[in-house]
C-alpha cells in the first residue's frame, strides 16, 4: 500500500516506514514562523512555561507584516517585544518590513520540499506549494515548539484534486481554488490534506500553486500539497535531493476521495459575502457597482498577479470615485514589479501602491470601508466585518477580475 | 500709497482699487480646497446648519482625500464616504490617493494672482506661484462654498530679502527653518512673508514651495514670491495661465524687513517640541532614532527624493529604524519610479508608501510609540504629533533624515 | 458672563495639544471633546466645567487649521479663551463658531490654573485675584459675528 | 464524571474567528481588553450579556478562519463554560484544548435547542435539553492528557520542573 505526499513527509520525519491517517505522532519541526500580531503572546507563554532557551534559533523566523507600517500605538509594542526576544535568544531571521510572512517563508528559502513547518497564522498551509507539510497553530503551541522543537500531529486523510487540460485565458488559479472550495464547502476538508495533481497543475507556476495552497484552509484543510518538481527546485534555490523527487502521491496511496476537474470547465468566479464557499460566476454578478478594489495579500499579491492586473489596466483608468489599492506581497515582488513596469502601469491607471504587508486583508488599515460599501478583493477571506463594518460587502476574485472591475467601477468579467 | 503683492491680490478679489493693512474686506474666492481632516464636519454643517443649503460654484471647490489614505478605520471610512458622496452629488472635483492636497493643488489648480482658501494650515504653500493661499477652518470653508465669498483682514507684509545662493548640501528647508528659528513661532503672526531679492531667483518653484509651506509655522497668514519668469514658465509647462501677475510697488509698505544671506545657511534641525527651536544639525547628532520620515507637503517632492536616494544608495537602513518614504503626489511617485529612486529606497530597506500625508499627520501611518524618536521632513514637531505623547520629533532636511536612517542616530549626510 | 475657573497653558500652545490628529475623524465634536488637552492634562475634559476659562500665553492655537480645536473647547463649555496673542487660524475659527477669544497682555502672567476669573466682554475687562485687566477690543466686524452666534448663524440670519 | 448546567446562546454555521474577535482588536494588550469586542461583527450586544458558566451551541465549522488563539481565550474570559457544535475547525479546536476550553461535537442538539434555555452536560456521556438526551463522544487520549494537565502551559511547566 502506497502513501500520499503528507504521509511520506511525516513518515520520514519520525523515521517510520509508514504512517496511517488518524495516527497521532510527534514530529520534529524543521522551521517555525512567528508573525507580529502573535509575538507578544508567544513570548509570554514561552516564559510562563519556564523555558530559558530556544531549541534551535536558526529554525525560527520572525516576520512583522500585519502591523507594518504601524497604524496604532499598540503596534509598536509588538516590534519591540519581537526585537528583544530575537536578541535575547539569538534569533537572526527577523524581517521587519520585507513583506507578508507566507511570501517570505518560501521566497527567502526558509522552506524546502519535504519540510515540516508550523506558523502562527492559518495561511501557513501556503508552503505546500513547494511540497512542504505546513499548517497554522496557536501561540501556546508555538511557545511549546520554541522550547521543545516538537509537536504532536494527527496524520490527516488526503483528498486528491486532479485537474487536467488547458485553462481558458481569463481564468487564474484563484478561480480554480475558489470553485474547489465552493464544491468542498467551508468545512469540506477539515482535518484533511489536499493533494493537487494533473497536467494542469504540473504546468502551473509555483506562484499559482501558492494561491491554491494558501486558500486550502478556507475549506478547513490542515495542509495542501503539490509534488515538488524542477520549477519548485528553481524557486527554492535547491537541487532536489534523494527524497524530494519521489515526493508525489503513490498510485496505490489511500485517498479519502478524488475530485476530478477538466481545466477547460473553469470560469472566472467570485466568493460572495460573507462566506468563502459562496461561489458564483462573475458573469452572473456583472453590473453590481463597486467602491473599491484591493489587489494584494499572501493569496494574490505576487508578481504574476500584479502583471495580470497591469495587463488589464494598461492604458486604462480606474473608474471615478473608485479606489484601487495594490499591496505587493513582498519587497522582492515590489522591486520586480517595478522593474517590469507593472507598478508604473498600475499607478498611472490610478492605483495606490502601498508598502508590502498584509494591508487590507487583515483589516487593521490599508483601505477600511464603511456601511454599504462594496469591495472586490484578491485576498482569502470575505468574512463579516473583515474590512470594516459588518455592512461592507466583500467579493473575492482573481487579480485579473479585480483589475477589470476597478476600471469598470462595477463587477465585470474580463475577456 | 503703493501696495504689496498680497494687498493687490486682496484688492482684486474685493473689487477695490486700494486696500491697506488692517482693513476688513469682503472678497470673492477663486478656489476652495478641503481635505479629509475636516470635510466630514463641513458636510455635516452643510446639511444641519444652513437655512438654504447650496454650493455657489462647484467648479471652484476641490476635495482631496490625503490624510488617512488608504483608510485606517471604519470611522475614517465613514468620514471619507461622506466627502465622496457630497462631491459626487455636487459635481465637485475629487481626488483620492493622488497626493498631499497642497502638492495636488499646485500641480493642477493654483494660478498667480488667485485668492485661495484651504481648510488646512499649509495652504500658504501657494505663494510659491504668487497666489494668496491661506488656511481656514471648516466653518469659513462652508461659508465660502455657500456664498463664493468671505471676509479677510488685510495683513501687514514683512519683506524677506534673500541674497546669495545656498551652498552644496544645504537645502531650502534648512533656510526656512533657520528663518523660523530666528523670527520665532509667532514672528509673522497675521502677516505676509514676502520673499524677494537675488537669492529668490536662485530658487525653483519647488524650492519656493518649501519656504512658503512652512510660513504658517511662524504664524504667517501666507507667504508669497513674485511670480517671475521661473514661476510663469512652470505654470505654462502645466498648461495654465495666471489670473494676474503682481509685483509689489516700490513704495509699498512693509512692516519689517529681514535679510538672509543664503551662502551662510548651514544644515539645521528643529528640536522637539517646537518648530522654532532650531539649531545647527551638528548639535543634535548622536541622538538615537527609531523612525525616519521622508515626505510631506513640505519635503516630499522629486528634489527631496533625489537627495534622499543619493544618500541611501548602496547603503542599508539601520536595523532598528523604520524609514518611511512617501512621495508627495502620484506625479512625484511616477517620476521617482522612472528615475529608479523608488528602487533605491526599496533596496535600502525603506518602507515606501503611496502618496499621502503619512507620518506628518501622525495618526494612522508610521505612528511612533512611547519615548520613541523620529526625525522627519514633515512640517511639525509638536509634542506627540507623530504618536505617543512621550515621543520626540526632530525636523531636518531630506539629506539629514536619510543619513540618520542609515546611521540609526541623527547625523548629517557628510558624516556617513 | 460669569465667574469661572482658569485652566492655564504655555506659550505657543499648538492645536495638536488641544485635540490630537488621531481623534479628528471621529464623527462628532462630542466624541472628540473627551480627548481635549490629552497630552498635557488628560483629566481636563472631566475637570473643566461650563463657564470656565482657558488662558494661554503668546501664539495660542498655533499649528493646524483644525476647527475641531476651538470646537472641543466650546463643546466642553469653555466660556472664553484669554491669551497674550493668538495664532490667526485658531482665532478666526473661534470667532466663526462663536467662542470668544480675548487678547489680554497682562492677565496670563498674573494668574494660575485654579484661579477664578470674571470676564466682561462689553467692558473689555477681565478680573482675577482682585485685579482688573483691560483686554483688546474685538473689531466690530468680528463682534457682530460673535454676537450673532457665529458665521453660519450670521449667514442664516442674512437670508431671513 | 464531570457534569454541569448552563444557559444556552445559539449561533449558526461557519462562525469564523473574525467574528469571535476581529483583527483590529488583536494587538490590544490583554485578553481582558479584547473580550468586550467578542462577536462584535455579528452580535455586538452578545459579549455584554454572556455570563460565567454559559454554554455556546453552534452549527458546523465553528471557529473557522485564522489561527488566532485570542478567539478561545476571549470566549473563556467571557465565562463560556463549554461549546457544543456540530463540528469545529481544526486550529480552533487545538487552541481551545490547549487553553482548557471544553469543546464537544454533537450533530443534533443544534436543531432543537433554543437560546436562553438551560441544558445539562455530562462530559463524555451526554447533554440533556428539554427533556431529551443527546450523546457526547469522548476525546482522544492525548488531548485528555493535556486537559488533565490543566492545558498546554501547565503541561510544559511540569516538563520544565516548575511547581504547578
DSSP code string of C19-71: S-GGGTTSSSHHHHHTTTTTTT-TTHHHH--TT-EEE--TTBTBS---THHHH
- Domain B270-415, CATH class in plain words: alpha beta
CA distance A24 to chain D (A): 8
Say if residue B66 is preceded by a cis peptide, omega within 30 of 0.
no
Contact criterion met (CB < 8 Å) for A190 and D87: yes
Residue A223 touches chain D, beta carbons under 8 Å: no
Structure-block grid coordinates of residue B73 = 478605520
Residue B38 touches chain C, beta carbons under 8 Å: yes
Query: The complex's ipTM?
Result: 0.92
Residues A377, A174: contact at Cβ < 8 Å? Answer: no
Contact criterion met (CB < 8 Å) for B372 and A76: yes
Q: What is the pLDDT along chain C (160 residues), one digit of tens a residue?
A: 589 999 999 999 999 999 999 899 888 999 999 999 999 999 999 999 999 999 999 999 999 999 999 999 999 999 999 999 999 999 999 999 999 999 999 999 999 999 999 999 888 899 999 999 999 888 888 889 988 989 999 999 877 5
Pairing relationship of beta strands B61-65 and A150-154 according to DSSP bridges: unpaired
CA distance B144 to chain C (A): 11
pTM metric for this prediction? 0.94
Structure-block grid coordinates of residue B368 = 511612533
Q: Indicate whether B70 pLDDT > 60.
A: yes
CA distance A190 to chain D (A): 6
Alpha carbons B133 and B290: distance in angstroms, whole number: 35
Q: Which residues of B touch A77 (CB under 8 A)?
A: 369
Question: Are chains D and C in contact at 3+ CB pairs closer than 8 Å?
Answer: no
Is A319 found in the same domain as A298? yes
Q: Which residues of B touch A83 (CB under 8 A)?
A: 320
Q: Which among A62, A323, A344, A390 is the top mutation candidate for probing chain B, defined by the most B β-carbons within 10 Å of its own β-carbon?
A: A323
First-to-last alpha carbon distance for chain D, in angstroms, is 24
CA distance A322 to chain B (A): 9
Out of A263, A281, A307, a domain closes at A263
Q: Share the mean pLDDT of chain B.
A: 97
- Say which residues have a Cβ less than 8 Å from residue A336's Cβ, sequence separation at least 6: A303
Nearest neighbour of B219 by CB, restricted to C16, C62, C96: C62
Mean pLDDT of B166-183: 98
Does residue A414 form part of some domain? no
Out of A222, A240, A263, a domain closes at A263
- How many CB atoms neighbour CB D139 within 10 A? 17
Pairing relationship of beta strands B373-376 and C53-55 according to DSSP bridges: unpaired
Matching CATH number, C4-159, of 3.90.1010.10, 3.20.19.10, 3.40.50.300, 1.20.120.1200:
3.20.19.10
- Closest residue in chain A to residue B318, using alpha carbons only: A96
First-to-last alpha carbon distance for chain A, in angstroms, is 46
| DSSP states along C73-135 | HHHTT--EEEES-B-HHHHHHHHHHT--EEE-SSHHHH--TT-EEEEETTTTEEEETTEEEE-
- Say which residues have a Cβ less than 8 Å from residue B233's Cβ, sequence separation at least 6: none
DSSP bridge partners of D128: D120, D133
Contact criterion met (CB < 8 Å) for B139 and C14: no
Contact criterion met (CB < 8 Å) for D41 and A385: yes
- Closest residue in chain C to residue B188, using alpha carbons only: C87
Give the domain extent around A337: 269-408
Residue B148 touches chain C, beta carbons under 8 Å: no
Alpha carbons B389 and B381: distance in angstroms, whole number: 12
B122-160 residues labelled b (16+ CB within 10 A) or e (exposed) = bbbbbbbbbbbbbbbbbbbbbbbbbebebbbbbbbbbbb
B355-385 pLDDT, tens digit each = 999 999 988 899 999 999 999 999 999 999 9
Q: Which residues of B touch C68 (CB under 8 A)?
A: 38, 41
**Please, how many CA atoms are within 13 Å of residue B108, restricted to the half-sphere of its CB?**
21
Is A317 found in the same domain as A255? no
Q: Which residues of B touch C38 (CB under 8 A)?
A: 389
Residues A224, A196: contact at Cβ < 8 Å? Answer: yes
Structure-block grid coordinates of residue D96 = 481551545
DSSP annotation of A359 reads G
Is A392 found in the same domain as A284? yes
Nearest neighbour of A137 by CB, restricted to D72, D89, D94: D94
Residues B141, B36: contact at Cβ < 8 Å? Answer: no
Structure-block grid coordinates of residue A322 = 473608485
B311-331 pLDDT, tens digit each = 999 999 999 999 999 999 999
Angle at which helices A303-313 and A399-408 cross, to 10°:
30
**CATH at residue D56:** 3.20.19.10
Residue A71 touches chain D, beta carbons under 8 Å: no
Contact criterion met (CB < 8 Å) for C151 and B119: no
Residues A260, A340: contact at Cβ < 8 Å? Answer: no
- Residue A152, SS3 per DSSP: strand
**Please, how many CA atoms are within 13 Å of residue C59, restricted to the half-sphere of its CB?**
23
DSSP bridge partners of A2: A253
Does residue A166 form part of some domain? yes
Does residue D14 form part of some domain? yes
- Closest residue in chain B to residue A339, using alpha carbons only: B343
Alpha carbons B101 and A261: distance in angstroms, whole number: 52
- Closest residue in chain B to residue C90, using alpha carbons only: B137
Residue B392 touches chain C, beta carbons under 8 Å: no
Residues C16, C63: contact at Cβ < 8 Å? Answer: yes
Query: Which among B346, B124, D136 has a CA at the least distance from the CA of A354?
Result: B346
Cα dihedral: A133, A134, A137, A141 (round 10): 60
Structure-block grid coordinates of residue A234 = 528553481
- Closest residue in chain A to residue D43, using alpha carbons only: A390
Q: Which residues of B touch A97 (CB under 8 A)?
A: 322, 349, 351
- Say which residues have a Cβ less than 8 Å from residue A23's Cβ, sequence separation at least 6: A154, A155
Alpha carbons D29 and A41: distance in angstroms, whole number: 9
Q: Is B308 left (phi over 0), alpha (psi -120 to 50) or beta?
A: alpha
Does residue A58 form part of some domain? yes
Alpha carbons A45 and D60: distance in angstroms, whole number: 30
Contact criterion met (CB < 8 Å) for A338 and B342: yes
Alpha carbons D98 and D101: distance in angstroms, whole number: 8
Residue B75 touches chain C, beta carbons under 8 Å: yes
- Closest residue in chain A to residue B319, using alpha carbons only: A96
Is A228 found in the same domain as A279? no
Residue B365 touches chain A, beta carbons under 8 Å: yes
pLDDT at C150: 92
Tell me which residues of chain B, numbers 202 to 221, contact chain C at a CB-CB cutoff of 8 Å: 216-217, 219, 221
CA distance D64 to chain A (A): 7
Nearest neighbour of B382 by CB, restricted to C17, C26, C92: C17
Contact criterion met (CB < 8 Å) for B186 and C151: no
Residue B186 touches chain C, beta carbons under 8 Å: yes
pLDDT at D147: 80
Longest CA–CA separation in chain A, Å: 62
How deeply is A51 buried, as exposed, middle or buried, from its count of CB atoms within 10 A (0-12, 13-18, 19+)? buried
Mean pLDDT of B298-306: 98
Is A134 found in the same domain as A22? yes
Contact criterion met (CB < 8 Å) for A368 and B370: no
Query: Which among D157, D97, C156, A33 has a CA at the least distance from the CA of B142?
Result: C156
What superfamily in CATH does domain B5-261 come from?
Answer: Aconitase, domain 3 (3.30.499.10)
Out of A221, A248, A263, a domain closes at A263
Residue B384 touches chain A, beta carbons under 8 Å: no
Is A259 found in the same domain as A222? yes
Contact criterion met (CB < 8 Å) for A369 and B71: yes
Nearest neighbour of A220 by CB, restricted to D28, D64, D70: D64
Residues B22, B154: contact at Cβ < 8 Å? Answer: yes
Sign of CA dihedral A126, A128, A134, A135: positive
Q: Which chains touch B (3 or more CB pairs under 8 A)?
A: A, C
Q: Which residues of C touch B137 (CB under 8 A)?
A: 65-67, 70, 89, 92-93, 96-97
Q: Which residues of D touch A389 (CB under 8 A)?
A: 41
Domain count, chain A: 2
Does residue D30 form part of some domain? yes
Nearest neighbour of C156 by CB, restricted to B51, B136, B217: B51
Does residue A415 form part of some domain? no
Rounded to the nearest angstrom, the gap between the alpha carbon of residue A220 and the centroid of all alpha carbons in its chain is 14
Helix, strand, coil shares, percent, chain B, to 5: 40, 20, 40
Query: Which among C82, C8, C81, C4 has a CA at the least distance from the CA of C49?
Result: C4
Q: Indicate whether D163 pLDDT > 70.
A: no
Alpha carbons C90 and B32: distance in angstroms, whole number: 18
User: Could you tell me the pLDDT band of residue D164, with boundaries at 50, 70 and 90?
Assistant: low
Residues B141, B178: contact at Cβ < 8 Å? Answer: no
Write the CA distances from C31 to A287, B46, C36, integer angstroms.
38, 19, 10
B344-362 pLDDT, tens digit each = 999 999 999 999 999 999 8
Q: Which residues of A touch D152 (CB under 8 A)?
A: 140-141, 144
Alpha carbons A54 and A84: distance in angstroms, whole number: 14
Tell me which residues of chain A, numbers 367 to 406, contact chain D at a CB-CB cutoff of 8 Å: 381, 383-386, 389-390
Alpha carbons A380 and A359: distance in angstroms, whole number: 13
Contact criterion met (CB < 8 Å) for D67 and A41: no
Write the CA distances from A156 to A222, B34, B268, C12, integer angstroms.
8, 58, 64, 67
Give the domain extent around D78: 3-138
Q: Indicate whether D137 pLDDT > 90.
A: no
- Residue D3, SS3 per DSSP: strand
pLDDT at A67: 96
Radius of gyration over every alpha carbon of chain B, rounded to an integer in angstroms: 21
Q: Which residues of A touch D29 (CB under 8 A)?
A: 74, 77
Residues A337, A343: contact at Cβ < 8 Å? Answer: yes
**CATH at residue A304:** 3.30.499.10
Q: Which residues of A touch D70 (CB under 8 A)?
A: 41
Total residue length of chain D: 164
Structure-block grid coordinates of residue B51 = 437655512
Q: Which residues of A touch B77 (CB under 8 A)?
A: 368-370, 373, 388
Write the CA distances from B76 to A365, B67, B268, C63, integer angstroms.
10, 10, 36, 22
Tell me which residues of chain B, numbers 95 to 114, contact chain A at a CB-CB cutoff of 8 Å: 96-97
Domain count, chain D: 1
Q: Indicate whether D1 pLDDT > 70.
A: no
Does residue D146 form part of some domain? no
DSSP bridge partners of A9: none
Listed as ranges, residues in chain A with pLDDT below 70 are: none
CA distance D130 to chain A (A): 29
- Domain borders along chain B are 5-261, 270-415
Contact criterion met (CB < 8 Å) for A122 and D66: yes
Does residue D157 form part of some domain? no
Amino acid at each position: 500500500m502506497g502513501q500520499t505526499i503528507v504521509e511520506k513527509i511525516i513518515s520520514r520525519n519520525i523515521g517510520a516506514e509508514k504512517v496511517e491517517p488518524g495516527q497521532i505522532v510527534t514530529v520534529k519541526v524543521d522551521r517555525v514562523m512567528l508573525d507580529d500580531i502573535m509575538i507578544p503572546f508567544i513570548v509570554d507563554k514561552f516564559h510562563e512555561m519556564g523555558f530559558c532557551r530556544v531549541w534551535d534559533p536558526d529554525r525560527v523566523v520572525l516576520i512583522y507584516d500585519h502591523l507594518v507600517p504601524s497604524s496604532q500605538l499598540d503596534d509598536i509594542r509588538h516590534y519591540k517585544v519581537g526585537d528583544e526576544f530575537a536578541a535575547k535568544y539569538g534569533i537572526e531571521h527577523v524581517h521587519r518590513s520585507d513583506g507578508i510572512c507566507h511570501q517570505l517563508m518560501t521566497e527567502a528559502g526558509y522552506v524546502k520540499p519535504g519540510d515540516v513547518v508550523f506558523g502562527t497564522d492559518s495561511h501557513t498551509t501556503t508552503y505546500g506549494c513547494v511540497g512542504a507539510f505546513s499548517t497554522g497553530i496557536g501561540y501556546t503551541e508555538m511557545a511549546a515548539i520554541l522550547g521543545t522543537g516538537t509537536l504532536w500531529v494527527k496524520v490527516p486523510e488526503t483528498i486528491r484534486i486532479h485537474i487536467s487540460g488547458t485553462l481558458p485565458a481569463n481564468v487564474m488559479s484563484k478561480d480554480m481554488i475558489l470553485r474547489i472550495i465552493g464544491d468542498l464547502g467551508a468545512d469540506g476538508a477539515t482535518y484533511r490534506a489536499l493533494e493537487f495533481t494533473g497536467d494542469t497543475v504540473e504546468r502551473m507556476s509555483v506562484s499559482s500553486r501558492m494561491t491554491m495552497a494558501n486558500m486550502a484552509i478556507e475549506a478547513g484543510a490542515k495542509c495542501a500539497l503539490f509534488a515538488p518538481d524542477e520549477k519548485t527546485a528553481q524557486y527554492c534555490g535547491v537541487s532536489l535531493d534523494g527524497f524530494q523527487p519521489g515526493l508525489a502521491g503513490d498510485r496505490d496511496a489511500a485517498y479519502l476521495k478524488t475530485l476530478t476537474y477538466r481545466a477547460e470547465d473553469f470560469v472566472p468566479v467570485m466568493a460572495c459575502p460573507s462566506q468563502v464557499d459562496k461561489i458564483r460566476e462573475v458573469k452572473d454578478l456583472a453590473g453590481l457597482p463597486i467602491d473599491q478594489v484591493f489587489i494584494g495579500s499572501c493569496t494574490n499579491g505576487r508578481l504574476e498577479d500584479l502583471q495580470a492586473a497591469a495587463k488589464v489596466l494598461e492604458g486604462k483608468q480606474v473608474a471615478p470615485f473608485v479606489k484601487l489599492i495594490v499591496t505587493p506581497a513582498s519587497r522582492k515582488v515590489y522591486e520586480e514589479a517595478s522593474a517590469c513596469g507593472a507598478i508604473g502601469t498600475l499607478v498611472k491607471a490610478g492605483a495606490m501602491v502601498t508598502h508590502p504587508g498584509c494591508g487590507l486583508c487583515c483589516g487593521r488599515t490599508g483601505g477600511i470601508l464603511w456601511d454599504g460599501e462594496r469591495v472586490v478583493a484578491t485576498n482569502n477571506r470575505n468574512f463579516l466585518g473583515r474590512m470594516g463594518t459588518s455592512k461592507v460587502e466583500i467579493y473575492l476574485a482573481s487579480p485579473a477580475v479585480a483589475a477589470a472591475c476597478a476600471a469598470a467601477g462595477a463587477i465585470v468579467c474580463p475577456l | 500709497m503703493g501696495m504689496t503683492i498680497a494687498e493687490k491680490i486682496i484688492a482684486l478679489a474685493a473689487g477695490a482699487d486700494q486696500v491697506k493693512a488692517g482693513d476688513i474686506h469682503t472678497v470673492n474666492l477663486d478656489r476652495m480646497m478641503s481635505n479629509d481632516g475636516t470635510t466630514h464636519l463641513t458636510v455635516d454643517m452643510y446639511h444641519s446648519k444652513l437655512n438654504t443649503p447650496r454650493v455657489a460654484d462647484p467648479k471652484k471647490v476641490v476635495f482631496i482625500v490625503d490624510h488617512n489614505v488608504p483608510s485606517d478605520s471604519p470611522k475614517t471610512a465613514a468620514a471619507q464616504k461622506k466627502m465622496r458622496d457630497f462631491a459626487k452629488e455636487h459635481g465637485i472635483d475629487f481626488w483620492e490617493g493622488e497626493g498631499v492636497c497642497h502638492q495636488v493643488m499646485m500641480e493642477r489648480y493654483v494660478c498667480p494672482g488667485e485668492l485661495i482658501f484651504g481648510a488646512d494650515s499649509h495652504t500658504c504653500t501657494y505663494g510659491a506661484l504668487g497666489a494668496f493661499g491661506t488656511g481656514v477652518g471648516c466653518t469659513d470653508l462652508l461659508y465660502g462654498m455657500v456664498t463664493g465669498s468671505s471676509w479677510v483682514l488685510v495683513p501687514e507684509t514683512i519683506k524677506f530679502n534673500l541674497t546669495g545662493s545656498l551652498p552644496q548640501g544645504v537645502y531650502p528647508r534648512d533656510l526656512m527653518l533657520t528663518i523660523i528659528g530666528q523670527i520665532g513661532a509667532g514672528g509673522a503672526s497675521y502677516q505676509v512673508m514676502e520673499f524677494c531679492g537675488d537669492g529668490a531667483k536662485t530658487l525653483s518653484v519647488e524650492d519656493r514651495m518649501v519656504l512658503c509651506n512652512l510660513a504658517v509655522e511662524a504664524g504667517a497668514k501666507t507667504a508669497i514670491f513674485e511670480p517671475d519668469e521661473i514661476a510663469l514658465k512652470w505654470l505654462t509647462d502645466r498648461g495654465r495661465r495666471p489670473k494676474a501677475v503682481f509685483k509689489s510697488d516700490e513704495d509699498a509698505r512693509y512692516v519689517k524687513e529681514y535679510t538672509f544671506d543664503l551662502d551662510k545657511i548651514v544644515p539645521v534641525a528643529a528640536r522637539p517640541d517646537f518648530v522654532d527651536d532650531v539649531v545647527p544639525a551638528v548639535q543634535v547628532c548622536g541622538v538615537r532614532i527609531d523612525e525616519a520620515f521622508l515626505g510631506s507637503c513640505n519635503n516630499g517632492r522629486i528634489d527631496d527624493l533625489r537627495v534622499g536616494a543619493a544618500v541611501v544608495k548602496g547603503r542599508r537602513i539601520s536595523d532598528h529604524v523604520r524609514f518611511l518614504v512617501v512621495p508627495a503626489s502620484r506625479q512625484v511617485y511616477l517620476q521617482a519610479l522612472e528615475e529608479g529612486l523608488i528602487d533605491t529606497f526599496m533596496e535600502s530597506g525603506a518602507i515606501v508608501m503611496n502618496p499621502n500625508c503619512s507620518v506628518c499627520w501622525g495618526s494612522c501611518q508610521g505612528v511612533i510609540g512611547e519615548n520613541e524618536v523620529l526625525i522627519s521632513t514633515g512640517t511639525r514637531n509638536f509634542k506627540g504629533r507623530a504618536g505617543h505623547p512621550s515621543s520626540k520629533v526632530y525636523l531636518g532636511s531630506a539629506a539629514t533624515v536619510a543619513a540618520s536612517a542609515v546611521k540609526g542616530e541623527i547625523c548629517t549626510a557628510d558624516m556617513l | 458672563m460669569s465667574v469661572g475657573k482658569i485652566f492655564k497653558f504655555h506659550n505657543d500652545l499648538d492645536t495638536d495639544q488641544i485635540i490630537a490628529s488621531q481623534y479628528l475623524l471621529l464623527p462628532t465634536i462630542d466624541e472628540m471633546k473627551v480627548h481635549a488637552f490629552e497630552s498635557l492634562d488628560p483629566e481636563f475634559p472631566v475637570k473643566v466645567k461650563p463657564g470656565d476659562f482657558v488662558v494661554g500665553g503668546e501664539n495660542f492655537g498655533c499649528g493646524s487649521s483644525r476647527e475641531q480645536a476651538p470646537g472641543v473647547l466650546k463643546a466642553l463649555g469653555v466660556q472664553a479663551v484669554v491669551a497674550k496673542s493668538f495664532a490667526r487660524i485658531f482665532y478666526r475659527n473661534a470667532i466663526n463658531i462663536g467662542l470668544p477669544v480675548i487678547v489680554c497682555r497682562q492677565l496670563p502672567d498674573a494668574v494660575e490654573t485654579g484661579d477664578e476669573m470674571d470676564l466682561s466682554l462689553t467692558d473689555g475687562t477681565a478680573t482675577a485675584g482682585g485685579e482688573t485687566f483691560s483686554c483688546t477690543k474685538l473689531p466690530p466686524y468680528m463682534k457682530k459675528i460673535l454676537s450673532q452666534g457665529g458665521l453660519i448663524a450670521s449667514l442664516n440670519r442674512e437670508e431671513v | 464524571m464531570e457534569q454541569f448546567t448552563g444557559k444556552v446562546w445559539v449561533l449558526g454555521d461557519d462562525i469564523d474567528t473574525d467574528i469571535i474577535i476581529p483583527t483590529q482588536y488583536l494587538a490590544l494588550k490583554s485578553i481582558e481588553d479584547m473580550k468586550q469586542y467578542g462577536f462584535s461583527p455579528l452580535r455586538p450586544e452578545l459579549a455584554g450579556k454572556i455570563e460565567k458558566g454559559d454554554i455556546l451551541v453552534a452549527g458546523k465549522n465553528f471557529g473557522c478562519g485564522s489561527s488566532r488563539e485570542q478567539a478561545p481565550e476571549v470566549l473563556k474570559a467571557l465565562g463560556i463554560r463549554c461549546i457544543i457544535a456540530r463540528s469545529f475547525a481544526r486550529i480552533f479546536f487545538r487552541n481551545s484544548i490547549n487553553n482548557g476550553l471544553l469543546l464537544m461535537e454533537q450533530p443534533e442538539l443544534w436543531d432543537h435547542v433554543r437560546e436562553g434555555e438551560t441544558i445539562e452536560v455530562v462530559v463524555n456521556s451526554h447533554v440533556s435539553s428539554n427533556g431529551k438526551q443527546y450523546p457526547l463522544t469522548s476525546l482522544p487520549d492525548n488531548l485528555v492528557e493535556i486537559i488533565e494537565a490543566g492545558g498546554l502551559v501547565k503541561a510544559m511547566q511540569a516538563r520544565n520542573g516548575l511547581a504547578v
